[in-house]
C-alpha cells in the first residue's frame, strides 16, 4: 500500500480553512436535508445553512475546548471535523489529543 493510500488525521491549520470550507460547501450543495431546509425557508443561499467560516476560525483559537481536525489522503485535504471537549455534566474537560492514522482498503 502506498503512502497516498493512508488516511491521516491531523489538526486543521488556519491556512487550511479556505480549502476545508469549500469541501464542506461542495458536499452540502447536494445534501438532501440541507436542500430541503433551504427550500422550506425559500432560500437559495447555501451559506445560510452553513456554520460561518469565521466561527470555525475562532475554534482554532480555543484548542483547550475545541479540536478541529482534517483528514488527509497524501497532501490533499478530503474532509474535516469539529469536536467540542465536554463531559456529561457539561463541564469543560481537558482531553489529550493524539494524531492518528488509518489505512484505506
CA pair distance 32, 29, nearest whole angstrom: 9
Better-predicted residue by pLDDT, 88 or 46:
46
Q: Give the pLDDT score at 96.
A: 54
Cell of 94: 481537558
Q: Give the pLDDT score at 100.
A: 46
Whole-prediction pTM value? Answer: 0.68
The whole-chain average pLDDT of the chain stands at 81
Q: Are 66 and 83 in contact (CB under 8 A)?
A: yes
Task: Report H helices in the chain.
Answer: 17-28, 32-41, 53-60
CA pair distance 97, 51, nearest whole angstrom: 24
CA pair distance 5, 17, nearest whole angstrom: 23
pLDDT by residue (tens digit) across 35-85? 898 888 898 888 888 888 888 899 999 888 888 999 999 889 999 999 887
Average pLDDT over residues 20-38: 89
Cell of 92: 469543560
Amino acid at each position: 500500500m502506498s503512502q497516498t493510500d493512508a488516511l491521516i488525521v491531523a489538526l486543521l491549520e488556519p491556512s487550511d480553512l479556505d480549502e476545508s470550507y469549500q469541501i464542506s460547501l461542495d458536499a452540502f450543495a447536494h445534501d438532501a436535508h440541507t436542500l430541503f431546509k433551504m427550500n422550506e425557508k425559500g432560500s437559495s443561499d447555501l451559506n445560510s445553512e452553513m456554520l460561518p467560516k469565521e466561527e470555525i476560525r475562532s475554534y482554532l483559537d480555543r484548542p483547550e475546548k475545541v479540536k478541529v481536525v482534517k483528514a488527509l489522503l497524501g497532501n490533499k485535504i478530503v474532509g474535516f471535523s469539529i469536536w467540542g471537549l465536554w463531559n456529561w455534566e457539561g463541564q469543560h474537560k481537558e482531553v489529550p489529543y493524539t494524531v492518528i492514522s488509518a489505512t484505506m482498503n
